[in-house]
Amino acid sequence: MTANFTVSTASVSSSASSSASPSALPDDLIPGRMPAHVAVIMDGNGRWAKQRGLPRIMGHRKGVDTLKKLLRCCRDWGIDALTAYAFSTENWGRPTREVDFLMTLFERVLRQELKEMMEEGVRIQFVGDLEALPKTLQREIDRAVIETKDNRGIRFSVATNYGGRQEILQACQAIATQVQQGQLQPADIDESLFSRHLYTSDISDPDLLIRTSGEMRISNFLLWQLAYSEFYITDTLWPDFDTDEFHQAMKAFQMRDRRFGKVDDSEKP
């Protein structure tokens, strides 16, 4: 059976990676100010392909290479977690041929990359309503998640058939059921309890969201978890998003003043 991952440990926002590896970092990045968790909306695959007179699916194929490079770079730079938006609950509305291609692509990538993920200590997990995915894909997901679960390297979460509103609704339903059964009082429902009912219960909230292709939208991604994330939006299309551009994103992130709704110490009376 395919599980939706709701293992419970507190979901708290942290601002610095615990395992920054200064030797691999470019000189102009400060190890103590790296994000612990980066989330990406990988947008622009279709446009990238169209610009080259190629079918859209070629953009997705190239997008996988970009994602692999980014995962490796995050690992080398000591970032603890990367979450990628691979397929939204709304993406089912795309042409059947494209949806089928994406499902097959996910399956093939999982099969082909598992050995390398083991060698590199990647711990993969999936967030979303996985029951609706093709059974063959569910089996590959189960295999990859189980085999990599004891790895201690970067945590790589793939949002697949994921929708932020749907995630919040299923959390509400689970909590309401517990209240109905008398296991929980309404007054017990706080942010920490609610976070533990989300797919991302065992990952800290993203410190940084990157969106490619210049769109200024969240597109139903991690609606709860992005409350205090910094945003980096670039016009670059996802297949062209490379290490240099990620470096720029890191520099921009390190310039941000994260106050989490409070004021700077210097502004306090």
Active-site entry in 4, 91, 151, 220 = 91
Interface with ligand FPP (CB under 6 A), residue from 40, 67, 137, 145? 67
The span from the first CA to the last CA of the chain, in angstroms, equals 56
Which stretch, 11-19, 36-44, 184-192, 242-250, contacts ligand FPP (CB under 6 A)?
36-44
Which stretch, 10-18, 56-64, 169-177, 225-233, contacts ligand FPP (CB under 6 A)?
56-64
Query: Which one, 191 or 242, has the nearer CB to ligand FPP?
Result: 242
Q: What is the DSSP letter of 30?
A: -
Rounded Cα distance between 175 and 194, Å, is 8
Instruction: Identify the bridge partners of residue 162 per DSSP, sorted by sequence position.
Output: 88
Rounded Cα distance between 84 and 66, Å, is 11
Which stretch, 58-66, 125-133, 216-224, 243-251, contacts ligand FPP (CB under 6 A)?
58-66
Rounded Cα distance between 135 and 142, Å, is 10
Owner of token pair 């969201």 = 209
Query: Which one, 191 or 215, has the nearer CB to ligand FPP?
Result: 215
Tell whether residue 122 is a contact of ligand FPP (CB under 6 A).
Answer: no
- Give the SS3 label for residue 222: coil
Instruction: Please confirm, yes or no, whether 43 is among the known catalytic residues.
Output: yes
Answer yes or no: are the C-beta atoms of 63 and 241 closer than 8 Å: no
Instruction: Please confirm, yes or no, whether 235 is among the known catalytic residues.
Output: no
Instruction: Identify the bridge partners of residue 41 per DSSP, sorted by sequence position.
Output: 85, 211
**Residue 151 labelled as part of a binding site:** no
- Give me the residues that bind ligand FPP (CB under 6 A), please: 42-47, 60, 63-64, 67, 84, 86, 91, 105-106, 109-110, 158, 213
| Binding-site entries for Mg(2+) | 43, 230
